[in-house]
Amino acid sequence: MAGQEQHQPQSRDTEIDEDVPAAPPAPADAQASAATQGVDDLLDEIDGVLESNAEEFVRAFVQKGGQ
């Protein structure tokens, strides 16, 4: 955010600065492939974290009413 502090708030017609740091430019194919790889890695990690019996676990999550 530090880089943004000097800008006035933008309206919809002006260009928007991204908050995420700009990645170095890369060919579109390589970017897409890296993104796919990132998703695959993420899903692999989450596979190892998810509770084992999905159907049973979700069914047993029963709450009483709240506000």
- Binding residues for another protein, per CB under 8 A? 1, 4-12, 16-20, 39-40, 42-43, 45-46, 49-51, 54-55, 57-67
Smallest separation (angstroms) from another protein to the CB of 34:
13
Dihedral (Cα; 39, 44, 48, 53), 10-degree rounding: 80
Closer to another protein by CB, 20 or 27: give it: 20
Smallest separation (angstroms) from another protein to the CB of 64:
3
Q: CB of 40 within 8 A of CB of 50?
A: no
Rounded-to-integer distance, Cα 61 and Cα 55, Å = 10
Rounded-to-integer distance, Cα 61 and Cα 67, Å = 18
Smallest separation (angstroms) from another protein to the CB of 21:
10
